[in-house]
């Protein structure tokens, strides 16, 4: 099982528009072979001093059955269309691809 944390920083004032485009793409992603979980999350004020909140960052939490499934996802036509739609909103993207230690 592969877990992915994608941190997407968007231009100020575009988060709601970005999330709409993202949410519209979720059904196609969930139908992909090997997709276990795929959803966006945003910061919530927890009151913890150590928390670094950013209202312009969306964190995508994903789970895939394999690296091959993740690679296929990134090449899927609906992902290319999604990237075209959000390219003017996205400032930066960082990715953590993780494997559970047991």
Question: What is the tens place of the pLDDT at every residue in 37-95?
Answer: 999 999 999 999 998 899 999 999 999 999 999 999 999 999 999 999 999 999 999 99
Q: Rounded to whole angstroms, how far apart are CA atoms 97 and 30?
A: 18
**Mean pLDDT to the nearest integer, 10-16:** 97
Confidence at residue 92, expressed as pLDDT on a 0 to 100 scale: 98
Please tell me the CATH code under which domain 2-43+54-99 is placed.
3.30.70.100
Global confidence as pTM:
0.92
Domain ranges of the chain: 2-43+54-99
Helical H segments across the chain, by residue range: 15-30, 67-75, 77-86
């Amino acid at each position: 099982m592969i877990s992915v944390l994608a941190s997407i920083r968007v231009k100020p004032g575009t988060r709601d528009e970005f999330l709409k485009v993202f949410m519209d793409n979720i059904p196609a992603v969930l139908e992909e072979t090997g997709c276990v979980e795929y959803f966006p999350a945003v910061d919530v004020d927890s009151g913890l001093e150590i928390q670094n909140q950013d209202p312009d960052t969306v964190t995508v939490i994903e789970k895939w059955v394999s690296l091959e499934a993740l690679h296929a996802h990134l090449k899927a036509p609906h992902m290319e269309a999604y990237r075209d739609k959000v390219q003017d909103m996205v400032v930066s993207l960082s990715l953590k691809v993780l494997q559970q230690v047991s």
